[in-house]
């Protein structure tokens, strides 16, 4: 095809150790019938750009350089089930630097011509999709992610994710 667009988003991308720990906990959950997200794909979306052409992709990558975030700890102390059958882990208290980062990246998207998402930011790590039946909502994983960078990520249909660029949170 001559579709040159890429599906892009900004995300917190955990360390291998953090993702392994979360996947291990997740894989131990009993009674959830759904499609588990592969360990290597676990992440938290900060701002979703959607399908963009190369010029917009360049704009996003360049404008993100100017985002000055501070590092923070993300405490995964909550789980929930979205109506569309998506079981997630998240946080009871969104750290201020996380809210600020999501806000700044929403502004980056707007600067690059992407219409704002009207829905409030709901930080979550998707654990299962297509959960069927009355799934038990498990106790939270009680794990912590250290967020000292954020990433621009390419979602490749049927081929997982590729981190295109990583940006430090320097304080
Ligand atoms: P989800 O896990 O809640 O589905 C790649 O698809 C990432 O972008 C996922 O984290 C996904 O969230 C998120 N995403 C997909 N479509 C989105 C949309 N329209 N708005 C916000 N986030 C979206």
Across the chain, what does the average pLDDT equal? 95
State both tokens at 169.
């949170």
Q: Tell me the ipTM for this assembly.
A: 0.96
User: In the structure encoding, which two tokens stand for residue 32, read together?
Assistant: 């959830």
pLDDT value for 31: 87
DSSP 41-82: G--EEEEEEEEE-HHHHHHHHHHHTT-----EEEEE-EEEEE
For residue 150, how far is its CA from the centre of ligand 1 (angstroms)?
16
Query: CB under 6 Å to ligand 1: residues?
Result: 9, 45, 48, 86, 117, 126, 155
How many A from CA of 47 to the centre of ligand 1?
Answer: 9
Give the three-class secondary structure for 126: strand
What is the bridge-based pairing of β-strands 6-12 and 149-155? antiparallel
DSSP β-bridge partners for residue 163: 153
Give distance in angstroms: CA of 123 to centre of ligand 1.
Answer: 11
Residue nearest atom 15 of ligand 1, based on CA coordinates: 48
pLDDT for 133 = 80
Residue 1 binned pLDDT confidence (cut-offs 50, 70, 90): low
Find the angle CA(54)-CA(55)-CA(58) to the nearest 5 degrees: 85
Residue of 48, 89, 130, 152 to mutate, ligand 1, most atoms within 8 A of C-beta: 48
Report whether 71 contacts 147 (CB < 8 A). Answer: yes
Q: What is the CATH number of domain 6-165?
A: 3.90.1140.10
Q: How far apart are CA 169 and CA 151, in angstroms?
A: 11
Contact 89, 140 (CB under 8 A): yes
For a mutational test of ligand 1's pocket, the pick from 45, 50, 122, 156, i.e. the residue with the most ligand atoms closer than 8 A to its C-beta, is: 45
- Smallest Cα–Cα separation from 161: which of 37, 2, 31? 37
Please give the distance, rounded to the nearest whole angstrom, from the Cα atom of residue 20 to the centre of ligand 1.
21
Report residue 26 as tokens.
Answer: 């997740």
User: Active-site residues: which are they?
Assistant: 43, 124
124-138, pLDDT tens digit by residue? 999 999 998 877 789
Of 59, 92, 55, the residue nearest 76 (C-alpha): 92
Per-residue pLDDT tens over the stretch 119-169? 999 999 999 999 988 777 899 999 999 999 999 999 999 899 999 999 999
Helix axes 96-111, 54-64, angle to 10 degrees: 140
């Amino acid at each position: 095809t001559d579709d040159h667009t890429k599906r892009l988003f900004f995300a917190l991308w955990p360390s291998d150790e953090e993702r392994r720990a979360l996947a291990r906990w997740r894989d131990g959950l009993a009674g959830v019938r759904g499609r588990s997200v592969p360990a290597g794909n676990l992440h938290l979306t900060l701002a979703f750009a959607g399908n963009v052409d190369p010029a917009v992709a360049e704009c996003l990558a360049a404008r993100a350089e100017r985002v000055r975030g501070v590092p923070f700890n993300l405490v995964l102390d909550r789980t929930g089930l979205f109506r569309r059958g998506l079981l997630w882990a998240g946080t009871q208290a969104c750290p201020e630097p996380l809210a600020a980062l999501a806000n700044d990246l929403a502004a980056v998207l707007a600067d690059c011509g992407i219409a704002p998402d009207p829905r409030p930011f709901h930080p979550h790590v998707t654990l299962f999709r297509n959960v069927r039946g009355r799934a038990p909502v498990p106790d939270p994983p009680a794990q912590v992610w250290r967020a000292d960078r954020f990433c621009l990520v390419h979602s490749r249909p049927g081929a997982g994710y590729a981190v295109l660029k990583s940006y430090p949170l320097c304080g």
